[in-house]
Structure formats: structure tokens, C-alpha cells
Chains A and B, each alone.
Chain A
Amino acid sequence: MRITFQHTYAATREKVWELLQDQDTLVRTLPGCKRLHSVGDGLYETELGLDVGPIKGLFAGHVQLCEQEAPARYRLKLSGRGKPGELSADSWVILEDKDGKTVVTCDADAQVTGLLASVGQRVTGSVARMLLGRFFKNVETELRRSAS
């Protein structure tokens, strides 16, 4: 399933890039993130507690940031396994400069199994968009905090 999401920040690409690559920021901004532990090379072990519609439960897995081309784009991979099933996503996050602001586009290909697929697939797309929305909003909050 392909999911795309876009958000515009009133900040430079460099500033947004810095936040998106920062581990502490990620812990605070990833929705339901309970733990994020670096195991090197941009790979993190993580636990996400999600509760959106049928997608409910603790997901243990990995987040990987790689193929970075600062400050233009990087690849974000996510894989998690919880009681409702497994989810995996492979996405490109692209940062573009637009009149001093930064447009961030996330283009993801997501797959789900188990209960997530048979019960949740109908809403997985909208839930994924909602979660991405929260993440980008949380990043905006971080951005404001660092500016103040």
C-alpha cells in the first residue's frame, strides 16, 4: 500500500534535517515511542505503543535511517511486530526548499500481516496517514521549542 504525506515547516532545510536525524527528537516525536535504542549505522531498536482503531498494541521492531543526502533526502525503514500482526514500511523522506520554508514529503510503501491485514487493512491507510501526521506535527512542536 502506498502512502504519501506532506508537511510544510517554517524553517530552513538544514534545521529540519537536523531535527529529523536526531535520536532524542525521534523518541519524542515518533507516535507512541516507548524506547529507541541505537545499535549503530542509523539502525535503532524501538518499541511503539499504538492505539488507533484496530491498530492497537505494542510493536517491537526496528527503525532505520539510511542513504542520507543531507539536507535533501533520506530513506526511512520501519518494521514492527506485535500481537495484531506485523507491519513494515519502506519510505523516502524528501526535503525541498520553498521560499525559505521546507516542504517535507514522505512517500512510503507499507505492508501489514495478520489481524492488521484482515481486520485493519480497510483503515490502515488512513491510520498510517494519521500517525505520519502526528509525527510531522510533533516535529513542528520540537522546531518551535528549539526556536524559542
Chain B
Amino acid sequence: MAQVFGSTLKRREDPRLITGNGQYSEDIQLPGMLYASVLRSPHAHAKIVSVNIDDAKALKGVVAVYTGKDLQGKIGTVPTAWLPPDSNIQTPPHEVLAVDKVRYVGDGVALVVAENRYVARDAVDLIKVTYEVLPAVVEQEDAMGDGAPVLHDGVEKNVAFHWQAGNATDEVFDNAEVVVTQRFRQQRLIPNPMEPRAATAQYNPGTGEMTVWATSQNPHIHRFLLSGILGIPEHKLRIVSVDVGGGFGAKIACYPDEAMVAFAARDLKRPVKWVEDRRENFLITTHGRDMVLDVEFAGTKDGQFTGIRVRNIANMGAYLSTAGPGVPTILFGLIVPGAYKIPYAGVDVYGVFTNTTPTDAYRGAGRPEATYLLERMVDLFAAEIGMDPVEVRRANLIQSHEFPYNTAMGLEYDSGNYEGALDKALQMVGYEDLRQKQQELRASGRYLGIGVTTYVEICGLGPSQVAGAVGFQGGLWESATVRVHPTGKVTVFTGASPHGQGEETTFAQIVAQRLGVPFEDIEVVHGDTNRIAMGWGTYGSRTTPVGGNAIAVAVDKVIEKAKKIAAHMLEVAVDDVRFEDGTFNVEGAPGRSVSIQEVTLQAYLAWNLPQGVEPALEGTAFYDPVNFVYPFGTHICVVEVDADTGEIDLQKYVAVDDCGRVINPMVAEGQVHGGIVQGIGQALWEGAVYDEQGQLVTGTFMDYAMPKARFFKQFETAFTETPAPQNPLGVKGIGETGTIASTPTVVNAVMDALRPFGVKDINMPLTPERVWKAMEKGRSQA
């Protein structure tokens, strides 16, 4: 049969999604359904003196109004699920609705449930709340300062946790030939998936079963957590997230809204729907990044890196979101040495409460921030010692014969050919010619910049033992069931929960290739806790390396059983049967064969099965990876900066990524494209801004710049394939590489262009105004 694995098939989910036939939470319509709307705090920090709901309750069409006090004792608090070890982490309660105090603009104060969504919204405006406004703090360093307002009783200086790792001592830096220091500001980003969050809850009073259709990247984790919050046992609680319009990390967290909608559905014995509007999405759905990073980078005069040390002050927002504490610690800290042989590395991380929206994972989650500071430091170091940024990288990259490679942060990188990817990217972009062109243009007052990033990513989260050791309150294995039906059609049940990444296509390709059945005969089922026994979801580029390999192992179990039945049908010993391309052949007897479909039918008819073999044909695997996977690559960007206006022209973008074996090049390239766009969004345009009172100033698309297709020229992308040695498919993750690599690549390019002005660093986003001001400063000092 044709090679399915590695071939460019069009995404089979797309016709459904682009013709309006998807099944998003908002599409759920149920008889007697009510609509919910939440009254949200207009203040960043205030005591709730009183809440008067009389007028709201009196409005025609209003069915119920709940305040925080009404829910007290009837519903649990929203838990934090990632508790980094040895960090003295404080997890003050996060009430579903605020009771005594609000801590950020958007904190829920009351829930209205009404016959339709218009009445629900009108009723929200009729609730009268008296607040005693308290001083607010929005910057993490201010929050740690003396006299700063304290958000949570007993959390001194608002420090939620303090985590350290690594081995970079003072001695390393005191004895270094060259030390470069720099402070970077990772600005706060707002994820903005196309579909905002939504939840529709239905309670069956007869059976006690609750179904919640919700926007989730990890429905089983949400079942786990909501079960605790609501007091509904897991076998009575079903979470359904079939089609989800993007998540980017923002749909990992467990939020108060889904819990209170479910609570109301049970209390009122009627279905209740809540759909977040775009303004709410800006205000209450988790934000990303927001770190202040102080970096020391040491090396020798001839270009060898000897040490890196980082202090990270991370803004966690008003409460610790579900996976929030894992982002600036584990996911950030462990990858700080990057793709280089750096003998000493250390991180020192403070997680700080402020009167802002909670932060959690955002595409790349910790790894973009670490890669950014490292790749920026490498460029600053290269400039300091007068070496080309490509050559300094080449001198320090881990070599392909050195894998598996143990890093200063205790990771074991699985495989790589870092220089191979670098050389390919240099050749694609024409590096030498570009440097020549740069010189020529500078002579005529034009400023070309070339930025390079050689990255490695840690993904495929992750081995369950490691997850436990780093404080993730769960395992990170994945489940798969491959059910072959009597006619040979296949249903694949995956515990990963894709929400736009195309795994309905790529997972079917895995099965088609391995089981030898037609691609069209395979259906992939995901996102429903009643159809799938257990799963840990989609994030951290884990879906293919963990979920995909679970499917491969499940297919192997199917083949193992089918082989016994085939041997029985062919009247030979099992050891004499060979399986290839969907056919069981007898070794040394050409022409004697049965197809997988024939075997399947016999498995179900079960009239004549070998002794001890049960009827039916399906395989279930619970696959726990032995290690993370480490995709890598080189991105190069060419920009020209307008010397008069500071505007940046993105002229060329080359990405060479290696995610092991590529299942579907088009789907992989799509992931790279989206990732690059989001990463450049951070570099050049995006940034959440709060005023001093904690009001979100960038609360609309008029004020928060999202990248648009017309901002970009065609990207030039390519893959190298270095198989992952530690999993059956040889695959690594590709969902976040673009975001991780592109931000430092573009900023390095702009700084390279600005070198004649003596500019070393500009805080992101690199708006024309900031770039122009930096050039003006350079001009005035020249």
C-alpha cells in the first residue's frame, strides 16, 4: 500500500470546520436551556461591602441570582494543579465567586441565570455592589516591595513561591574572562483564541449525572478538578470538548465560570449555558508570559560559553492558575542552557501575586521566555567579543555524536543534529551574501539586520515519574484504544484532546500506515470523557509524541492478537506469520495470506478461534514515555529598519525545524507557520497594558495588536529529520517550535540592524516609536 506516514494529506477535519458543521460548545442547544452572565469586578482590588441583588431578581425572565456568599459551603474552591517542589508555594483559596474581596478587574462577584442571554446581561447591570476600593499593585517587582498592598492574607510580600535550580555559583562568574549582563522584560500577552471560552451544563436529576460541554484542551483533567469543586463523582460527570476553536494554553486552566454554570444547572435542574464575550476573554481568560529576567552570561574571549544564571520574577496575577506555577519554574528553568554546551546554569524564580488576570501557559509556556533570553544573550556575548553570531553558536552547539547529552539542568537530550539544521538554514537564506549586502547598504544609510536562533525545545510532556517529581499533580502518560469493527473499519479513541492541530488526520495516518487499512476507514474520536477512559490532554507539544505513540502501541496489540487468529486461519504456527501492509503472509509460502479485514470478521464471528483467544479485536495502550522529546532547529530572519520612522520591514523568514519523523508535512508546516506568527506577534506588536489602578487598558482588538496575515511575507520552511530514538514512531513535537524560535530571531535581527546606533536592547514589542527613540538616542550620543 501507499506510504501514508510522511505524506501530505489534507486535513480531514477542515471541511467540517469551515462549513459551519463543527460541534463547538456554543452549538449545543437543549430544551429548557437557561443562560448565565457574570457580574465582574470593575476594581482591581476592593473589599466587597454589600451586594444587593433585589432589582436583578425582580427583572422578568431572571431565574436565579447567586453571590459569593450564596455559594459558600456549597461549592469548592478552584485548585492549583502544579506545585513546584521545594518552593514553599502558597495557594490561597480562589473562590468561584469572590466573597469578601475582589483581587483583579474581572473577578466574579455574582452570577445571573435567566431565560435568555439578553435578560441575563441586563440583570447583571441591576446588581448594586458597594466596594471599598483598596490600593492595587500590578507590577511584580512593586508587589514584592515594602508597603505594597497584600492580596492574600498570610502571603508576605505577595510571594507565592520561590524556586531555585541548577549549579551556577558566584565562582563561575567571578573567574570568567567575559561576563555579559542584561535585563529583559517578557511582556504580558493575551492568548485570544478565535473561539472564546464557553460551557453548557446539563444535570439529570434522575441519575445524578452531569454533562458539561466545555472549551477544554484537557477534558479529563477538567473532569478530575470539577468533580472536586462540584462534589460530583467522576463516574457521574462527563466533559465534552469535541471541537474547540484554539486554546494556545488558555484552555488548560480550570476556571470558576464552568464550575458555577454546572452548579446552577444542578441547583435549578435545567440546562445552563454561558459563553464568554470577547471583552471577558481579554479580562478573565489566563494571560501569558509577564516575567522580569535578570541574566548573567559568562564565557571565554575566544567564544566558549561557561555559565548562565537567571533571576526570574514572574507575575502570577491575582490567583495561582491551574498550571501557572509550572510555567516560570520547570518549563522555563530546565531549558535555560538551550542547544549549547554550557557547563553551569542556574535559575532563581519568584512567583508573585498582583492585582491582574492570572497567568498560565501560553504557546511554548516558559520555553519561549528561556529561549528568548538565551538567544539574546548569545548575540550580546558575540558582540562583546567581536565574533559573528553564527560562528559563536557553531562553537558551542552540542554535536550530533554527543547524544544522548546530559545538560547542566539535569535533562538528557535525546537526539539531534543541530549543526545540520543550522547549515541548511544558512544555505536557504544565503547568509554570507546577506552579510555582504548589509555592509553595502549601511554605507548608503540603510539598515539591514540578520537574526539567528539555534534552539532546542523540551516537549512531549512527559514521563509520569518526572511529572510527579516536578510537582505536576498527575501523570502525563496517554491512552489510546484502537477498535477494529467487524468489517475492518477502525475507531481510534485518544486521550489527547486536539483542538485545531489536525490530529484527526495525522492520527489516522499512524493507524493507516501501521495497520494497513485505508485512511478513509479510520475515525479518530477525542474530547469526550464518556467515550475515552482517561487522558491528559493536549499541551506542551505532547499530543503526537505521547498520544500518537499510545496509538502505535495499541495498534501493535491489535496486530499481535490478529496474528494468532490469522495463524489459526492459515493453519500455521504464529511464528511463521508475517504482517505487512494489512496482510498476514506465511513465511516461505507465497500466496498463502489473509487480510486484516478477513481476520477481523473472524474475530467477531468467533465461530472458530484458536484456543484461549477471546472474540473481538481491539487494543488499548496506556503509553508512558521514557523521556521528553527535544525538537530543535534554526530560524533566520532578515529585516530592514527605516532610519527615519523606526518601522521594521520583515523581508525574509527561514525556518528549519527538526521534529523527528514527520507524519504529515503540510500539517507540520501549518503548525510552524502559526507558531512563527504568534512569536513575531510578541516581538513586534502584542502587549497587555494595565494602568496603575489595575485597569486593563488593552482590552479590545483596537488596543491589543494581533498579527494579521497581511503583516507577513511567505515563510520559507524546511524540515530535517532526526528520528526520536526513545519512542516507537520516532516523533517529536512541532506545535510550539515556531513560537519559541521566532521571537528572539526577529529581535536579534532588529538589534543587528541597529548596531551602528549602539543599541543593545529594546523592550518588546519593538514598536516603531521604541525603535525610533533608540535610534535617536544613539544618534545624539554619536
A58 to B231, alpha carbons, bound, how many Å?
43
Contacts A86-B42, A118-B282: A113 and B695 contacting too (C-beta < 8 A)? yes
Contacts of A112-148 to chain B: CB distance below 8 A: 112-115, 117-119, 121-122
Looking at the assembled complex, report how far the CB atom of B700 sits from the nearest CB atom of chain A, in whole angstroms: 5
A85-B699 in contact (CB<8A): no
Contacts A118-B695, A121-B691, A121-B695: A113 and B702 contacting too (C-beta < 8 A)? no
Partner pick for B279 among A118, A121, A122, CB 8 A cutoff: A118
A68 to B282, alpha carbons, bound, how many Å?
43
Counting CB contacts under 8 A, is A83 at the interface?
yes
Which of B105, B695, B696 is packed against the most chain A CB atoms within 10 Å?
Answer: B695
Counting CB contacts under 8 A, is B125 at the interface?
yes
A121 to B697, alpha carbons, bound, how many Å?
6
Looking at the assembled complex, report how far the CB atom of B125 sits from the nearest CB atom of chain A, in whole angstroms: 5
Partner pick for B699 among A83, A86, A111, A117, CB 8 A cutoff: A117
Partner pick for A118 among B43, B125, B283, CB 8 A cutoff: B283
Interface residues on A, range: 10 to 19
A119-B42 in contact (CB<8A): no
A121 to B42, alpha carbons, bound, how many Å?
14
Encode contact with B along A79-113: 1 for CB under 8 Å, 0 otherwise.
00001011000000000000000000000000111
A119 to B280, alpha carbons, bound, how many Å?
12
Looking at the assembled complex, report how far the CB atom of A113 sits from the nearest CB atom of chain B, in whole angstroms: 4
A113-B43 in contact (CB<8A): yes
Residues of chain A with a CB closer than 8 A to B42's CB: 85-86, 113-114, 117
Looking at the assembled complex, report how far the CB atom of A9 sits from the nearest CB atom of chain B, in whole angstroms: 34
B693-A118 in contact (CB<8A): no
Encode contact with A along B255-284: 1 for CB under 8 Å, 0 otherwise.
000000000000000000000000100110
Looking at the assembled complex, report how far the CB atom of A135 sits from the nearest CB atom of chain B, in whole angstroms: 25
Q: Which 4 A-B pairs have the closest CB atoms?
A: A118-B699, A117-B695, A113-B42, A114-B42
Chain B residue nearest in CB terms to A119: B700
Partner pick for B696 among A86, A111, A118, CB 8 A cutoff: A118
Chain B residue nearest in CB terms to A57: B125
Counting CB contacts under 8 A, is B703 at the interface?
yes
Residues of chain A with a CB closer than 8 A to B695's CB: 112-113, 117-118, 121
A86 to B698, alpha carbons, bound, how many Å?
18
A83 to B122, alpha carbons, bound, how many Å?
10
Partner pick for B125 among A1, A83, A86, A111, CB 8 A cutoff: A83
A-B residue pair count with CB separations less than 8 angstroms: 43
Partner pick for A119 among B125, B691, B693, B699, CB 8 A cutoff: B699
Contacts of A39-85 to chain B: CB distance below 8 A: 83, 85
Chain A residue nearest in CB terms to B700: A119
Partner pick for B693 among A83, A111, A115, A122, CB 8 A cutoff: A111
Residues of chain A with a CB closer than 8 A to B282's CB: 118
A117 to B105, alpha carbons, bound, how many Å?
10
A115-B279 in contact (CB<8A): yes
| Chain A contact residues: helix, strand, loop or mixed | mixed
A147 to B584, alpha carbons, bound, how many Å?
108
Residues of chain B with a CB closer than 8 A to A121's CB: 691, 695, 697, 703
A117-B279 in contact (CB<8A): no
A118-B700 in contact (CB<8A): yes
Residues of chain B with a CB closer than 8 A to A114's CB: 42, 105
**Beyond known contacts A117-B696, A119-B700: 8 more, CB 8 A cutoff:** A83-B125, A85-B42, A112-B695, A113-B693, A118-B695, A118-B697, A118-B698, A119-B699
Encode contact with A along B28-47: 1 for CB under 8 Å, 0 otherwise.
00000000000000110000
Contacts A83-B125, A118-B696, A119-B700: A113 and B105 contacting too (C-beta < 8 A)? yes
Can you name 28 A-B pairs with beta carbons within 8 Å? A1-B691, A83-B125, A86-B42, A111-B693, A113-B43, A113-B105, A113-B693, A113-B695, A117-B696, A117-B699, A118-B105, A118-B282, A118-B283, A118-B695, A118-B697, A118-B698, A118-B699, A118-B700, A118-B703, A119-B699, A119-B700, A119-B702, A121-B691, A121-B695, A121-B697, A122-B697, A122-B702, A122-B703
A117-B700 in contact (CB<8A): no
Residues of A within 8 A of B (CB): 1, 83, 85-86, 111-115, 117-119, 121-122
Looking at the assembled complex, report how far the CB atom of A127 sits from the nearest CB atom of chain B, in whole angstroms: 15
Chain B residue nearest in CB terms to A111: B693
A122 to B689, alpha carbons, bound, how many Å?
12
Chain B residue nearest in CB terms to A124: B697
A111 to B692, alpha carbons, bound, how many Å?
10
Encode contact with A along B78-112: 1 for CB under 8 Å, 0 otherwise.
00000000000000000000000000010000000
Residues of chain A with a CB closer than 8 A to B696's CB: 117-118
Encode contact with A along B275-304: 1 for CB under 8 Å, 0 otherwise.
000010011000000000000000000000
B691-A117 in contact (CB<8A): yes
Encode contact with A along B353-394: 1 for CB under 8 Å, 0 otherwise.
000000000000000000000000000000000000000000
Chain A residue nearest in CB terms to B693: A111
A100 to B105, alpha carbons, bound, how many Å?
49
Looking at the assembled complex, report how far the CB atom of A56 sits from the nearest CB atom of chain B, in whole angstroms: 14
A86 to B131, alpha carbons, bound, how many Å?
12
Contacts of B691-739 to chain A: CB distance below 8 A: 691, 693, 695-700, 702-703
Residues of chain B with a CB closer than 8 A to A122's CB: 697, 702-703
Residues of chain A with a CB closer than 8 A to B279's CB: 115, 118-119
Which of A85, A86, A111, A113 is packed against the most chain B CB atoms within 10 Å?
Answer: A113
Looking at the assembled complex, report how far the CB atom of B688 sits from the nearest CB atom of chain A, in whole angstroms: 11
Chain B residue nearest in CB terms to A115: B279
A115 to B702, alpha carbons, bound, how many Å?
13
A83 to B42, alpha carbons, bound, how many Å?
11
A112 to B279, alpha carbons, bound, how many Å?
16
A113 to B102, alpha carbons, bound, how many Å?
14
A1 to B693, alpha carbons, bound, how many Å?
11
Residues of chain A with a CB closer than 8 A to B700's CB: 118-119
A119 to B277, alpha carbons, bound, how many Å?
14
Looking at the assembled complex, report how far the CB atom of B97 sits from the nearest CB atom of chain A, in whole angstroms: 18
A112 to B697, alpha carbons, bound, how many Å?
10
Residues of chain B with a CB closer than 8 A to A118's CB: 105, 279, 282-283, 695-700, 703
Looking at the assembled complex, report how far the CB atom of A44 sits from the nearest CB atom of chain B, in whole angstroms: 21
A112 to B699, alpha carbons, bound, how many Å?
14
Residues of chain A with a CB closer than 8 A to B702's CB: 119, 122
A112 to B43, alpha carbons, bound, how many Å?
10
A64 to B279, alpha carbons, bound, how many Å?
33
A65 to B695, alpha carbons, bound, how many Å?
28
Residues of chain B with a CB closer than 8 A to A111's CB: 693
Which of A1, A85, A86, A119 is packed against the most chain B CB atoms within 10 Å?
Answer: A119
Residues of chain A with a CB closer than 8 A to B125's CB: 83
B43-A117 in contact (CB<8A): no
Looking at the assembled complex, report how far the CB atom of B118 sits from the nearest CB atom of chain A, in whole angstroms: 14
A121 to B43, alpha carbons, bound, how many Å?
15
